[in-house]
Structure 1
Amino acid sequence: MKPKRREKTKKVGPSKRVEKASSALQKIVADFVEARAPKNTLLTVTDVAVSQDLRYIVAFVSVYPDVGDVSITKLLNADYRELNELIAKQADFKYMPKVVFEIDHGERNRQRIDELLSQD
């Protein structure tokens, strides 16, 4: 009896190429955000989501103290040309990725959950 052929298993999750690009981009974006942070405000890049074709990036940023999410994202998204220059200098991509900044509400949600749990 012939042994059965092994079925190919599909990889779930990003490829090594995307993971490598994501970690490099997180550092570049973090340096960019740090330089653009308003006084008395701590901006932290918590995650960078990269599309499989490396053309789109969503950078998640946490803000402390909570000074206005819309103004921070507008500030960061307005300087996209400078960020593109940084990416071009520090990374080698076939296409220049489009970067969009989003506020990461995870920390705020965790604090709210802690408040609710401590009320009991």
Structure 2
Amino acid sequence: MTIHKEEKLLFHLKDLAGEFLNRHSNRTSLITVTNVILSPDLKRANILLSVLPKNSEHTAVLFANRLRPEFKEYLKKHSRMRVLPQVTFLPDLGEQNRQRIEELLETE
């Protein structure tokens, strides 16, 4: 797959995941899709989430993973992908680390 097509697919998956979570969340926490990591064979996708407030992160990730079958149906309806990847929602640790470094730099 060309780099352009892969980038387009990643953006499309990220956009659809954001729309889906926005529609299904109860809005007690802000869930943001920060990145999508796709396996080379396109059969698995890890969707990274950032959640505010931080104490709701574990609950929000569990919520998103419970909705995986519904998300797969949503992908079927709203995309033209031939093979739908097996999706897993994970917390974005890179974003957490970046925010922590920013906090440490501000306190100095």
The one-letter code of the counterpart of 2:76 is A
Q: Please, which runs of 5 or more residues in structure 1 have no aligned partner?
A: 1-13
Query: By how many angstroms is 1:23 displaced?
Result: 1.1
* Residue aligned with 2:33, SS: strand
Mapped pair 1:41 → 2:29 = yes
* Residue aligned with 1:96, SS: coil
Query: By how many angstroms is 1:40 displaced?
Result: 2.8
Q: TM-score w.r.t. structure 2 length? A: 0.84
Q: TM-score w.r.t. structure 1 length? A: 0.77
The one-letter code of the counterpart of 1:117 is L
Tell me the alpha carbon deviations over residues 69-115 of structure 1, each in whole angstroms, 9 at most, x when there is no partner.
32211110111111011111111222221110011133432332233
Provide the aligned length of Structure 1 versus Structure 2. Answer: 107
- Deviating runs (4+, > 6 A) in structure 1? none
Q: Please, which runs of 5 or more residues in structure 2 have no aligned partner?
A: none
Give me the whole-angstrom Cα distance separating, in 1, the residues matched to 2:82 and 2:95: 35
* Residue aligned with 1:89, SS: helix
CA contact (8 A) 2:36 2:48 kept: yes
